[in-house]
Structure 1
Amino acid sequence: MLQAKVQEVFNEPGCATNRGKTEKQRKAGCAKQLTPGAAAGGCAFDGAKIALQPITDCIHLVHGPIACEGNGWDNRHAKSSGPETYRIGATTDMSDLDVVYGGEKKLYRAIKEAIARFDPPAVFVYQTCVPAMIGDDIVKVCEVASQKLGKPVIPVNAPGFVGKKNLGNKLGGEALLDYVIGTEEPAVTTPCDINIIGDYNIAGELWQVEPLLTELGIRVLGRITGNARYHDVTVAHRARISMIVCSQALINVARKLEERYGIPYFEGSFYGITDTSQALRTIARMLVERGAPPDLLERTEALIGREEAKVETRLAAYRRRLEGRKVLLYTGGHKSWSVISALGDVGIRVIGTSVRKSTADDKERARDLMGEDGKLYEALPQSEMYRMLKEGEADMMLSGGRTQFIALKAKTPWLDMNQERHQAYAGYVGMLALVEEIDRALANPVWEQLRLPAPWDDMEGEG
């Protein structure tokens, strides 16, 4: 069953890379060999947990050794405006004896205890490597638990050994499609209901955009999965359109919503002035095509004009200082191009970007935005990254926490652009926050001091 699901996910018609493959190549899949010991941030289980944990009112129960939950818990700063149930680190904590005798009974007891103690609307159960290898049938356990305990118990069959994190994202999406979406009906629908897919409300970014949608009368009906409640996901099949923020992660969800329920989708970004405005225009246009009031287009343009004018006034001073600055961007997914667009709004030039976890469309957009001189990196050796920063090819690096020390060693400013960050950068307000952070980092006098020769360097050769 798992093997069939993995093959189905590999054969994704919505993926441009997959469409370019032969039938034989599709069957071989797209997973790369896992690195032994790379437990945090690299396996399918981790990807599934990332995709689903922002459903904030549910228990996310990891069936496996406690280390799996230890590596996966809280690896993103996905914020909630209400329930904190998703913050509970729940695991069956399998031991050696469970490996010998099987862990199915222990899993059932854990589900029963979680429901009794926390009364969540649903429990998500994540399969990991150890129980998958000994043959624990979490699908059957979840089915029995749902019947006996009266709560939805959703199996997420994504053990780490089946592939990389991106495959796990999609397997998490498949769990929603198989067991959650379409299981309830909304109390009321409107002509302006939308789904936002592949946004995880990192550092509260969705809250920087949602007020704009609310002002236009647009309701986010399905949240998959940033700041979501379980019932938000169950009714996603009644939205009029879907916006997918990171197609590399959950393109299968958007495509199957279109196939099953006739919900068209588009890929967009809320990073930067240009992309935020374009996303709002596209949402309004597609909603009008689906029956929303025609004046939505006019009201959207008025809102865009107002917000762009407000942010442009505040960005003027920063633009004079930042124009022509060069940045090395080392992130992935849709940020490989959306951040380039955002920085371009204030005249910052990206000299190169990593395209890990990026689709063919992502790469093409990044290439167009950077021009002929910009470089795309599938992987960039740390030594080369250090050289580029040390020799001044870039004034600053934007990346994740794992590469920050390369920039610091090169005595170069660095800013966190990954999911671990505490600062939100979405929408017009987020663009201003991003520019303020970059300007603050570049202008910090510590860098000039660090680059001065040490006092003892001048003493070399003295007796």
Structure 2
Amino acid sequence: MSSLRAKIQDVFNEPACEHNRDKDAKARKEGCSKPLTPGAAAGGCAFDGAKIVLQPITDVAHLVHGPLACEGNSWDNRGAASSGPTLWRTSFTTDLTELNVVMGQGERKLFKAIREIKEAYGPPAIFVYPTCVTALIGDDIEAVCKRAAEKFGLTVVPVNAPGFVGSKNLGNKLAAEALLDHVIGTAEPDDAGPYDINILGEFNLSGEFWLVKPLLDRLGIRVRACIPGDARYFDIASAHRARAAMMVCSTALINLARKMEQRWDIPFFEGSFYGITDTSEALRQISQLLVTKGADPEILGRTEALIADKEAIAWKKLAAYRPRLEGKRVLLNTGGVKSWSVVHALMEIGIEIVGTSVKKSTVRDKERIKQILKDDNHMFEQMTPRELYAMLSEHKADIMLSGGRTQFIALKAKTPWLDINQERQHPYAGYDGMVELVRQIDLAIHNPIWRQVREPAPWDCQPEVREELPRTKSETATLHAVQEFAGTTADDFGEC
């Protein structure tokens, strides 16, 4: 537990974070992540954050040491995709019970579970995640993992991020520390080259990275390791031989990028693959970093040629949507890198941003939003469901882009909604992803269902009062006979 305490302290004191660097020594140690309120895990705990970062490593076994519910609540919490191995889709847990806790059987049960996984699946590595229960009862996870590694001849990685130590974001960083301590640098590739890069903080949600990798392939750039999206254990173990790195989500893995630069001299930059301009700029910066590390400068010319070709195709496709979407108003209720990258992407085709959430954004993210929007009046730290509903019901936005938790606010306000978070079904990265994002927004806004749901319900319609001419006795008798036959009265007639 003392080593975990030291690791947390080190993560909070992050010199690569500009905001953290400006604090005094006392404030720096407190970090940016607020500790969880006991019993409240809204937004995720540290254990959940560690699983988010490591579970997309597809060919290793992820073993949760704790009660069954911990694995059930954290499995499949992201829409990451794999192009090959499926072992990461199998749930492994020691299923600790009250009896195991009372009898002190936790460590023995963990060792047995590691042995069973080794015999049944033979993975290159097993990642072990302690939970609140096993951390509180004092199970020595590191000792068990070390003994199991020696006994079974495979890598067993302890991921010290029990839920009670802090927020999901802290768990992201503790997972990165586990990779640095036990995985990265443990294998030497036999094909290292001057065009090898790492992509950090890319989760391959809905297969997004598969829209970007072909662009790099055309430039002859090889992704040594994409951490964690669609990753393989050996790729991460040999990631220290890359020449440059791109950081996609600094909120999650900035400590990983900084320490890899310190230990192995791998320079990095933070960029985005959302939007045409940002994708092009990311490709340029990757090529420039490789040139500074010894790659042939001719790659710069090939990069510009590729960008010109892809941008021309993308803009031609987007031209069909501009007349339908120009001037439409979008409310973004997301965070992190999407709070500025998606803003920039949408503004490129003339969509107006009426607001964007910056709750999970870094100081640098917020500065980028100010530069893009020219002011900070459209930034909100947190908007309550009541405020979101009021904004949408007053028609201040034509569509809301957010995660699944706020979709029902938009639906209640009879406003189109599109999933932009990890549960989404469509990839939005790269040039083709930008076209897909705009297509989905167009489909959502112009869906005829919204015109129908906004019409008054039949029971809200008032009968039309019409002035009638006096009827003769025969006409009145005929009308009464018809009404009696149909079982209706005069009050039943009328239109909305």
TM-score, length basis structure 1: 0.98
Contact 1:123 1:153 in 2 (8 A): yes
Shift of 1:441: 0.3
Contact 1:40 1:71 in 2 (8 A): no
Partner of 1:166: 169
Partner of 1:29: 31
Matched, 1:145 2:148: yes
Matched, 1:333 2:336: yes
Distance across 2 between alignment mates of 1:119 and 1:332? 39
Matched, 1:408 2:411: yes
Following superposition of structure 1 onto structure 2, how do residues 35-50 of structure 1 map, counting pairs within 5 Å?
35-39=37-41, 41-50=43-52
Distance across 1 between alignment mates of 2:335 and 2:99? 41
Shift of 1:101: 2.5
**Equivalent residue in structure 2 for 1:121, among 124, 136, 139:** 124
Distance across 1 between alignment mates of 2:110 and 2:348? 51
Contact 2:369 2:376 in 1 (8 A): no
Partner of 1:52: 54
Partner of 1:297: 300
Q: Which runs of 5+ in 2 are unaligned?
A: 466-490, 492-496
Distance across 1 between alignment mates of 2:237 and 2:410? 44
Distance across 2 between alignment mates of 1:461 and 1:173? 68
Shift of 1:332: 1.1
Contact 2:414 2:454 in 1 (8 A): yes
C-alpha offsets along residues 184-211 of structure 1, whole Å, 9 cap, x if unaligned?
1111111110000000100000100000
Partner of 2:217: 214
> Residue type matched to 1:32 in 2?
K
Shift of 1:422: 1.4
Partner of 1:104: 107
Contact 1:78 1:201 in 2 (8 A): yes
Partner of 2:234: 231
Matched, 1:264 2:271: no
What secondary structure does 2:128 align onto?
Answer: strand
Partner of 1:64: 66
Q: Cα–Cα, structure 1 residues 350 and 267, in superposed 2: closer, same or farther, change >3 Å?
A: same
**Equivalent residue in structure 1 for 2:76, among 56, 60, 74:** 74
Shift of 1:459: 2.6
Larger displacement relative to structure 2 (244-253 or 23-32): 23-32
Partner of 2:312: 309
Shift of 1:461: 11
Distance across 1 between alignment mates of 2:19 and 2:385? 27
Contact 1:40 1:46 in 2 (8 A): no
Distance across 1 between alignment mates of 2:94 and 2:354? 47
What secondary structure does 2:400 align onto?
Answer: strand
Q: Which runs of 5+ in 1 are unaligned?
A: none
Shift of 1:262: 0.6
What secondary structure does 2:303 align onto?
Answer: helix
What secondary structure does 1:198 align onto?
Answer: strand
Q: How many pairs were matched up?
A: 463
Distance across 2 between alignment mates of 1:34 and 1:40? 9
> Residue type matched to 1:61 in 2?
L
Distance across 2 between alignment mates of 1:253 and 1:72? 23
Distance across 2 between alignment mates of 1:35 and 1:164? 10
Partner of 1:370: 373
Distance across 1 between alignment mates of 2:19 and 2:110? 38
What is the RMSD computed on CA atoms of the aligned residues? 1.4
Partner of 2:277: 274
Q: Cα–Cα, structure 1 residues 434 and 374, in superposed 2: closer, same or farther, change >3 Å?
A: farther
Contact 1:319 1:347 in 2 (8 A): yes
TM-score, length basis structure 2: 0.91
Contact 1:39 1:71 in 2 (8 A): no
Q: Cα–Cα, structure 1 residues 66 and 204, in superposed 2: closer, same or farther, change >3 Å?
A: same
Shift of 1:38: 4.2
Larger displacement relative to structure 2 (389-398 or 367-376): 367-376
**Equivalent residue in structure 2 for 1:94, among 93, 96, 99:** 96
Partner of 2:16: 14
Distance across 2 between alignment mates of 1:384 and 1:418? 20
**Equivalent residue in structure 1 for 2:424, among 418, 421, 434:** 421
